[in-house]
Amino acid sequence: MMRKKKYQTDLSLDAASAAAAENIPQELFTPSDAASSAMEHIAREHHSALHDDLVRLRKNKGAVVCSFILIAIVLFAIIAPMVSPYTYYDTDYTNKLASPSMQHLFGTDLFGRDQWTRVWYGTRISLLIGLFAALINLLIGVFYGAISAIMGGRVDAVMQRIIEVLVGIPQLIIVILFMMVLPPGVGTIVIAMSITGWVNMARLVRAQILKLKNQEFVLAGQLLGTSRWKTITRHLIPNTVSVIVIQVMFAIPSAIFTEAFLSFIGVGLAEPQASLGVLIQNGYSALRAAPHLLLFPAVAIILIMVCFSIVGDGLRDAFDPRMKH
């Protein structure tokens, strides 16, 4: 207790000296009467880093609005084809190219198929292609980049030369050639886009782990005998989650756009399967007679692309350490 009082007295003397130098009244400086039990109390409530990141994300109004739009699109893509009285392949040649109405909310196409059902079914297919392509790229890219960074030396050099070879080959050419060899389908498109799609993920993860591998917590784990596999899975990869999430948010719309382009030029999905690319190609063919066939799938893919980009930018700002205060 005497030591504490002496410490408070010393603080008061230092404050008084500073006050005299700045011509500040000394009565403004008085020792605190805080209880000894409260001396180590943390005033701010403790939150995890993820909680702080989500708080910053919620402050981004554009990202929040786009998140709700994406959730609504996903729900419609799942539910709308299930509750619709029509299927995506039912034809009605007596009701071809019908304009939007209460019976057919988005009208009908060249074969009298309900465009409402086909748009939402096609949105579901496009989202599935984007999601599965992004997941495959995530799995391959994360572990490839992590192993390359943690092994180092010749192993890292060889693995990076392989990436450089894949980067030198245009991805679109590989995808088109692959699609020409195998029959068209969702699985074929996903595999074709995953052949080189994981390269960017691997590079980002490798760069991030190279920054972390010499940190104190990694070196301490190695001194305690932690294996390289446990170091990668328990320490390094969890600390690259922000980079992984952001890259996935940009990889999904990229895969959707690639699928739409392939279907538009005729090497993607085939009729009667519906994806947004197939619907846009059909709408373009009948643009003059029925512009609504192009309008609705085009609006859907634009919303998906824009919303994913804005949410990805919001996540990047939320996870960026330089944005933290």
Two structure tokens written together for 243: 């980079």
Report d(CA 104, CA 85) in Å as an integer. Answer: 10
- Whether 40 is covered by a domain: the verdict is no
Predicted confidence (pLDDT) per residue in 126-171, tens digit = 999 999 999 998 899 988 988 888 888 888 899 999 998 888 878 7
SS (H, E, C) the chain: CHHHHHHHHHHHHHHHHHHHHHCCCHHHCCCCCCCHHHCCCCCCCCCCHHHHHHHHHHCCHHHHHHHHHHHHHHHHHHHHHHHCCCCCCCCCHHHCCCCCCCCCCCCECCCCCEHHHHHHHHHHHHHHHHHHHHHHHHHHHHHHHHHHHHHCHHHHHHHHHHHHHHHHCCHHHHHHHHHHHCCCCHHHHHHHHHHHHCHHHHHHHHHHHHHHCCCHHHHHHHHCCCCHHHHHHHHHHHHHHHHHHHHHHHHHHHHHHHHHHHHHCCCCCCCCCCCHHHHHHHHHHCCCCCCHHHHHHHHHHHHHHHHHHHHHHHHHHHHCHHHCC
Q: At 298, is the pLDDT very low, low, confident or very high (cuts 50, 70, 90)?
A: very high
Are residues 280 and 256 in contact, defined by beta-carbon separation less than 8 angstroms? Answer: no
- Whether 27 is covered by a domain: the verdict is no
Check pLDDT > 50 for residue 3: no
Question: What confidence score (pLDDT) does residue 290 get?
Answer: 87
Burial of 159 (0-12, 13-18, 19+ CB in 10 A): middle
Question: What confidence score (pLDDT) does residue 35 get?
Answer: 58
| Average pLDDT of every residue of the chain | 79
Cα atoms in the Cβ-side hemisphere of radius 13 Å centred on 268: 29
- Whether 89 is covered by a domain: the verdict is no
Check pLDDT > 90 for residue 72: yes
Are residues 288 and 236 in contact, defined by beta-carbon separation less than 8 angstroms? Answer: no
User: Does the reported pTM lie above 0.85?
Assistant: no
Question: What confidence score (pLDDT) does residue 6 get?
Answer: 41
Check pLDDT > 70 for residue 273: yes
Among 64, 199, 190, CA closest to 127: 190
Provide the percentage of residues in the chain whose pLDDT is more than 70. 79
Q: At 5, is the pLDDT very low, low, confident or very high (cuts 50, 70, 90)?
A: very low
Cα dihedral 24, 25, 31, 34 sign: negative
Which residue is it, tokens 């994360």?
142
- Whether 29 is covered by a domain: the verdict is no
- Whether 85 is covered by a domain: the verdict is no
- Whether 4 is covered by a domain: the verdict is no
How many beta carbons lie within 10 A of that of residue 220, not counting itself? 11
Range of the domain at 214: 66-78+101-323
Are residues 114 and 84 in contact, defined by beta-carbon separation less than 8 angstroms? Answer: yes
Instruction: Specify the range with the lowest mean pLDDT, choosing from 121-125, 288-292, 307-311.
Output: 288-292
Q: What is the number of structural domains in the chain?
A: 1
Check pLDDT > 80 for residue 10: no
Predicted confidence (pLDDT) per residue in 13-50, tens digit = 454 555 454 565 666 656 656 555 555 555 556 555 55
- Whether 28 is covered by a domain: the verdict is no
- Whether 25 is covered by a domain: the verdict is no
Check pLDDT > 90 for residue 301: yes
Among 278, 260, 267, CA closest to 109: 278
Question: What confidence score (pLDDT) does residue 274 get?
Answer: 81
Question: What confidence score (pLDDT) does residue 47 get?
Answer: 53
Check pLDDT > 50 for residue 64: yes
What CATH number is associated with residue 138?
1.10.3720.10
